[in-house]
């Protein structure tokens, strides 16, 4: 684990937080399927703008398994975008939907890390997950 990795994780967390706000703000004005498609197309355009100048000498992947996993990630991204838009279009405030979506994703990722990927389990990690789930539950409950 490096400090650089922590910085990248913090940047990702900030992006995930504003992603949640943007979904909530758009949800009342767009069909969830169309919205999810626009989000994905935007990601393609932005990614292409960043990738194209770097193509010379760049290794795109080193194992074919990577393609399977990024395709599955793309399917997951569509499902996230679609259901986030549906969640907020149903009238759920961001103070309820955000903690459920983000807190739930933290719990799921951690559980998969422990069980499927055989990452080390410690009391402090379990306590962290319990605190995240508890915090998200409190926010969702009190947000009503």
pTM, full prediction: 0.84
Q: Which two tokens stand for residue 57?
A: 């000498």
Mean pLDDT in residue range 46-70: 93
pLDDT tens sequence across 9-24: 899 999 999 999 999 9
CB 84 within 8 A of CB 20: yes
SS3 per-residue string spanning 53-96: HHCCCCCCCCCHHHHHHHHHHHHHHHHHHHHHHHHHHCCCCHHH
CA atoms within a 13 Å half-sphere pointing along the CA-CB vector of 9: 7
pLDDT tens sequence across 86-98: 999 999 999 889 8
- If asked whether residues 133 and 85 sit together in one domain, one would say no
Q: Is the pLDDT of residue 106 over 70?
A: yes
Q: What pLDDT score was predicted for residue 136?
A: 84
Percentage of the residues of the chain whose pLDDT score is greater than 70 = 98
- If asked whether residues 30 and 74 sit together in one domain, one would say yes
- If asked whether residues 18 and 67 sit together in one domain, one would say yes
CA pair distance 143, 107, nearest whole angstrom: 20
Please give the residue range of the domain that contains residue 125.
Answer: 92-144
- If asked whether residues 15 and 67 sit together in one domain, one would say yes
- If asked whether residues 87 and 97 sit together in one domain, one would say no
By CB neighbour count within 10 A (0-12 exposed, 13-18 middle, 19+ buried), where does 27 fall?
buried
Q: What pLDDT score was predicted for residue 80?
A: 95
CB 74 within 8 A of CB 115: no
- Rg for the chain, CA atoms, rounded: 17
Q: Is the pLDDT of residue 143 over 70?
A: no
- If asked whether residues 32 and 80 sit together in one domain, one would say yes
Q: What pLDDT score was predicted for residue 144?
A: 64
CA pair distance 82, 33, nearest whole angstrom: 6
**Number of domains observed in the structure of the chain:** 2
Residue 79 pLDDT class (50, 70, 90 cuts): very high
Q: Is the pLDDT of residue 65 over 90?
A: yes
- If asked whether residues 87 and 98 sit together in one domain, one would say no
- If asked whether residues 57 and 106 sit together in one domain, one would say no
- If asked whether residues 28 and 86 sit together in one domain, one would say yes
pLDDT tens sequence across 117-141: 999 999 999 999 999 889 888 887 7
């Amino acid at each position: 684990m490096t400090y650089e990795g922590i910085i990248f994780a913090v940047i990702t967390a900030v992006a995930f937080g504003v992603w949640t706000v943007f979904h909530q703000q758009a949800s009342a004005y767009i069909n969830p399927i169309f919205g999810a498609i626009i989000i994905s197309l935007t990601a393609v355009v932005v990614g292409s703008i960043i990738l194209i100048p770097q193509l010379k000498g760049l290794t795109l992947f080193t194992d074919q398994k990577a393609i399977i996993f990024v395709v599955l990630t793309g399917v997951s991204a569509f499902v996230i975008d679609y259901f986030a838009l549906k969640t907020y279009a149903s009238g759920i405030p961001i103070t309820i939907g955000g903690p459920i979506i983000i807190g739930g994703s933290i719990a799921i990722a951690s559980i998969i890390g422990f069980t499927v990927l055989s990452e080390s389990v410690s009391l402090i990690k379990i306590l962290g997950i319990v605190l995240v789930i508890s915090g998200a539950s409190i926010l969702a409950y009190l947000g009503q």
